[in-house]
Amino acid sequence: MKTGAWATLVRWLDRCAPPLAFVGLLLVWEGGVRIFAVPSFLLPAPSAIVTALLATPLPVWAGHVWATLRVALMGYALAIVVAVPLAVGLATSRFLSRTLYPILVVVQSTPIVAVAPIIVVTLGASDLPRVVITFLITFFPIVVSTVTGLLATPEELIELSRSLRAGRRREILHVRLPFALPHLFSALKISTTLAVIGAVVAEFVAAEKGLGFFIAFSTSYFKIPTAFAGLVVLVSISLILFRLIGFVQKAFAPWSLPKSER
Amino acid sequence: MMKRFTQTCAVLTVTLTLAHAAAATEQVTFMLDWLPAGDKAAVYLGVDKGLFEAEGIKVTIQSGRGSSDVVTKLATGSADMGTGGLAALLQAKAADAVPVKAVMSIYTLQPDAIFTTKDAGINSLKDLEGKTVATATFSSSNVSWPLLLKTNGVNPDAIKLLKVDPGALAPMLATGKVAATINWLTVAPAFAGPLTEVGKSFKALPWSGYGFDGYGLSVFASEKMLTSRPETVRKFLKAYAKATEMAIADPMAAAQALKAAVPEVSVDTAAEQWRASIPLMVNDISKKDGPGAFAPALLATTWKWVAEAQGLPLEKLNPETAVSRDYLK
């Protein structure tokens, strides 16, 4: 009986550990700020952030969230559309791999934050530069992971498909791509957060709306709790997008998940 | 049959009317030199009260990231008109013949100032020796700073200049990490929050009190706009001048117009920011030369400061080529 109660407690703690740790952290933060009387412009207390969050009208939040989400999703979609076929090309053609891979590494090694102002000047003040910046930050992990997945297909499977006279196209579509799905989905998850970061970076450079603009704007008025509230909303969006990709994977390609997560 | 004919006529009439209305309204993209704030309220009031609309202009307001950013955006055609410090335009003109001109002056006194707290014991530039001063990394004030000190007999090397993000300036001053910051006077009301929180009182030393003369904020236009749509520029400036007058007469209305377009702003802070900018616009110079004017002598002084601060020969640029007075007529 005693053992049963103990086991239940351990199970309960195991289930509740993440939210409890989070609540604990918030309490330490709130307590620390209050005890040491830290000014709100240095580190606002969680309660001050919540107050700032609620003080900003819902339509204002909706406008900024929509502006950031729109750019993040467009850049993300563009990254997938470009990265997946590109990865197939890189994985299947030595010529393409030798020619394009170094260029991609150069693009990835370029600090996008530094070139973002130039992109905005070149492409004008519209959604386009923001989408391009998001795309540039997002697409490389998708390319690399997909190529890794495509190349990790076991040789026996390739030989089997060839012995069954499957063409090149069938080999990619029915053997290599399904095998690359776990890699692709993990890259897609990472890229959702990168897409949000990309959109915010772009908004810091030039925007009239969006959470990046909102944070820059609040900071320029030294309203740090409001800027933190913007950060909270941004993190929430990233988490929601991250979970959404998880749901999509579970719903449409459950075989690509580890057995414990199906 | 008759019914279809009537419908077609109605659709045609509506289409033609809309097309006519679209043709009658000129689009102008106007870029502010920084994020929306109370000191930019005049243009919002003009939009809110329909002053631009009355001139047949539809204004789209964009926020820039500094005067140099506005000059670049105008030169590349991302915007038609905008605001910025005249020094930034003169500097850009001297370095590269950018196709942008100043068409109306807004500040006839320089807005740059030293912000400090009353307990810091700083009463003049000389008192800053041995102290640390914070400034925004990309502030146009940084260019003239060493020259301002030299002109006033202060050794620039005796003051440690710390370049930081604009958002860090007030917190650094409030926590005493720096003895003073360099800002535009129009930002002063935003410093109230952090300083009040730590029980400190604000104090400003305007650079204009130390011989730093010249035109500050001005209205710029791209040369493409000036040559292709001169009448629109004239109408825009007329409406802008009227909006400025209205905003000076009623700062609260200007702040409310800003709030209507940018709901995040606080009306009270915006009104205070606008009030803080009024002495920069309405003063002995503007009364003598008339609003919006570029007097040759003060224009030359503005360039002299830029040239000396940049280590450029005065002949490098004729400042008259950076302005046009034709559009205020």
B4-28 pLDDT per residue, tens: 555 655 555 555 444 444 456 899 9
Measured between alpha carbons, how far is A155 from A138 in angstroms, rounded to an integer? 30
> Region A86-106: what's the mean pLDDT?
89
Measured between alpha carbons, how far is A50 from A39 in angstroms, rounded to an integer? 16
**Cα angle, residue B142 at apex, residues B136 and B148 outer, rounded to 5°:** 135
**B167 vs A: CB within 8 A:** yes
Measured between alpha carbons, how far is B60 from B73 in angstroms, rounded to an integer? 14
Residue from A21, A157, A37, A131 nearest A79 by CA: A131
- pLDDT tops 80 at residue A1: no
> Region A236-248: what's the mean pLDDT?
94
Q: Write the pLDDT tens digit of every residue in B110-151.
A: 999 999 999 999 999 999 999 999 998 878 788 889 999 999
B:257-276 residues touching chain A, CB 8 A cutoff: 263-266, 269
Long-range contacts of range B283-289, CB-CB < 8 Å, 24 or more positions apart? B283/B108, B283/B109, B285/B108, B285/B109, B286/B108, B289/B108
Map residue B318 onto helix, strand or coil.
Answer: coil
B213 φ/ψ sector (left φ>0, alpha ψ -120 to 50, else beta): beta
- Give A91→chain B minimum CA distance, Å: 40
Contact B171 A221 (CB under 8 A): no
Q: In B, which residues are within 8 Å of A40 by CB distance?
A: 197
- pLDDT tops 80 at residue A259: no
- pLDDT tops 90 at residue A222: no
**A216 vs B: CB within 8 A:** yes
Cβ-in-10-Å burial (0-12, 13-18, 19+) of A155 comes to exposed
Query: Could you give the dihedral angle defined by the CA atoms of residues B319, B322, B328 and B329, in that order, rounded to the nearest 10 degrees?
Result: 80
Residue in A40, A121, A208 closest to B78 by CB? A121
Best mutation site among A217, A222, A233 for testing chain B: the one with the most B CBs within 10 Å? A222
Q: Please give the structure tokens belonging to residue A1.
A: 């009986």
Helix (H) or strand (E) holding A259: none
**B192 vs A: CB within 8 A:** no
Q: Which residues pair with B112 in a beta bridge?
A: B184
What mean pLDDT is reported for chain A? 89
Task: Report the b/e string of A179-218 with b at 16+ CB within 10 A.
Answer: bbbbbbbbbbbbbbbbbbbbbbbbbbbbbbbbbbbbbbbb
Best mutation site among A36, A218, A221 for testing chain B: the one with the most B CBs within 10 Å? A221
Task: Identify the closest residue of chain A to B37 by CA–CA distance.
Answer: A221
The pLDDT, as a whole number, for residue A145 is 92
- pLDDT tops 70 at residue A237: yes
Measured between alpha carbons, how far is A206 from B322 in angstroms, rounded to an integer? 26
Measured between alpha carbons, how far is B106 from B94 in angstroms, rounded to an integer? 22
- pLDDT tops 60 at residue B1: no
The pLDDT, as a whole number, for residue B24 is 63
Contact B167 A220 (CB under 8 A): yes
What does the DSSP assignment read for B59-126?
A: EEEEE-SSHHHHHHHHHTTS-SEEEEEHHHHHHHHHHS--SEEEEEE--SS--EEEEEEGGG---SGG
Task: Report the b/e string of B5-43 with b at 16+ CB within 10 A.
Answer: eeeeeeeeeeeeeeeeeeeeebebbbbbbbbbbbbbbbb
Measured between alpha carbons, how far is A108 from B33 in angstroms, rounded to an integer? 32
- Contact at 8 Å (CB) between B217 and B32? no
**A101 vs B: CB within 8 A:** no
The pLDDT, as a whole number, for residue B5 is 52
Q: Write the pLDDT tens digit of every residue in B219-258.
A: 999 999 999 999 999 999 999 999 999 999 999 999 999 9
Q: Write the pLDDT tens digit of every residue in B57-116.
A: 999 999 988 888 899 999 999 899 999 999 999 999 998 889 999 999 999 999 999 999
**B74 vs A: CB within 8 A:** no
Q: How many CA atoms lie within 13 A of A15 on its CB side?
A: 5
**A40 vs B: CB within 8 A:** yes
Measured between alpha carbons, how far is B55 from B178 in angstroms, rounded to an integer? 48
Q: Report pTM.
A: 0.82
- pLDDT tops 90 at residue A113: no
Residue in A41, A56, A208 closest to B170 by CB? A41
Residue from B68, B116, B69 nearest B89 by CA: B68
- Contact at 8 Å (CB) between A137 and A197? yes
Q: Are strands B160-164 and B100-105 parallel, antiparallel or unpaired?
A: unpaired
- pLDDT tops 50 at residue A189: yes
Q: Which residues pair with B203 in a beta bridge?
A: B116
The pLDDT, as a whole number, for residue A252 is 84
Report how far Cα A66 is from the mean position of its chain's Cα atoms.
Answer: 16
B:43-62 residues touching chain A, CB 8 A cutoff: 61-62
The pLDDT, as a whole number, for residue B182 is 96
Percent of chain A with pLDDT over 90: 54
Best mutation site among A122, A208, A211 for testing chain B: the one with the most B CBs within 10 Å? A208
Measured between alpha carbons, how far is A88 from A139 in angstroms, rounded to an integer? 14
**B175 vs A: CB within 8 A:** yes
Q: Write the pLDDT tens digit of every residue in B292-302.
A: 999 999 999 99
